[in-house]
């Protein structure tokens, strides 16, 4: 059954068809939410809210990319969730160091099993990118996640965030510049192939 058929069935009230659509896109939705929220629990909440919202708004779907439409709902759910978190900040379940400061990457959450170098490097890179991504302003982070992680084109992102194309371009350029500046701070910690060296071109 094609996606369009599923959509039509879902709009007509077929819950199974709707759930098949959810299953098809829930990984993309959760991944986008996770990269925007930087917190798996909050991302799961946002994704669930997005699914519920999608069920209610299904009759407003007017064609086009269903994934983009769903990601738009997910992004809005993330904005709502971020606002809610700002209203009710929670205490993170992270241990404190000897000086009473929160440990950013708690060692007790890490896998104690020895990892090969490649995996360790990849994890370092992932950690650095996640850190820099989380440090970005919300508006820049959303655009970067949608373009570079979710693989949406500029036009779709423009529709998702409900801003003109020029704003998308501008925000993406700023986001990349900020990310680049941030990753430079990690320097030697990054795997060599991802190290942003100036010497190579100077």
Partner 1 sequence: MNSRQDTLPKRDNEALCAYLDGVMTGEERLKFEKRLAKSLRLQKALKEYTQLRLAVRSLPCQPAPRNFSLTREEVRALKRQPVLYPAFGFASLAAVLILALVFTSEFIFKTYSAPMAREVSSEATLSAAPSQENARDVPEQPLIFTWGGAYGMGGGGAGGIGGDAPAAAYGMGGGLSVGTTIVGNTGEEQAAKPGEITAPLPSEGAGAGLPETPEEEAPQAQVFSTPMSSEPVEPLIFGIRESEAGQIIASYPPAEAKTAPETAADTQTEANPALVSDVLKIGLLASAFVLALLALVFYLKR
Binding site for partner 1 (CB under 8 A): 15, 18-19, 22-23, 26-31, 34-35, 40, 43-44, 47-48, 51-52, 55-56, 80, 84, 122, 125-126, 129-130, 133, 144, 147-149, 153-154, 169-170, 172-174, 176-177, 179-181, 183-184, 187, 193-194, 196, 198, 200-202
CA distances from 96 to 34, 85, 99, 105, 188 (A): 24, 21, 7, 11, 26
Q: How far apart are CA 186 and CA 183, in angstroms?
A: 5
H helix runs in the chain, sequence order: 3-11, 15-37, 40-57, 66-87, 117-135, 138-144, 154-161, 165-184
CB 31 within 8 A of CB 152: no
Give which of 6, 169, 167, 142 is closest to 74, Cα–Cα: 142
Torsion of CA 177, 201, 128, 193, to 10 degrees: 140
Smallest distance from partner 1 to CB 48, Å: 6
Smallest distance from partner 1 to CB 198, Å: 5
Smallest distance from partner 1 to CB 52, Å: 7
Instruction: Give 96 or 119: the residue with its C-beta nearer to partner 1.
Output: 119
Pair of tokens at residue 85: 């978190």
Smallest distance from partner 1 to CB 1, Å: 16
Smallest distance from partner 1 to CB 116, Å: 16
Smallest distance from partner 1 to CB 171, Å: 10
Pair of tokens at residue 153: 């084109």
């Amino acid at each position: 059954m094609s996606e369009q058929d599923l959509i039509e069935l879902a709009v007509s009230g077929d819950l199974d068809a709707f759930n098949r659509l959810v299953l098809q896109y829930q990984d993309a939705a959760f991944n986008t939410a996770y990269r925007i929220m930087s917190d798996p629990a909050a991302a799961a909440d946002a994704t669930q809210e997005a699914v519920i919202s999608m069920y209610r708004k299904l009759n407003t779907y007017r064609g086009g990319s269903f994934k983009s439409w769903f990601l738009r709902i997910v992004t809005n759910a993330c904005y709502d969730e971020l606002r809610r978190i700002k209203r009710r900040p929670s205490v993170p379940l992270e241990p404190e160091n000897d000086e009473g400061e929160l440990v950013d990457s708690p060692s007790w959450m890490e896998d104690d099993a020895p990892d090969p170098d490649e995996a360790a490097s990849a994890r370092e890179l992932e950690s650095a990118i996640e850190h820099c991504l989380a440090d970005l302003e919300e508006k820049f982070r959303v655009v970067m996640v949608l373009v570079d992680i979710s693989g949406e084109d500029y036009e779709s992102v423009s529709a998702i965030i409900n801003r003109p194309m020029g704003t998308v371009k501008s925000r993406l350029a700023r986001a990349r510049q900020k990310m680049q500046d941030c990753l430079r701070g990690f320097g030697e910690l990054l795997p060599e192939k991802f190290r942003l060296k100036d010497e190579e071109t100077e």
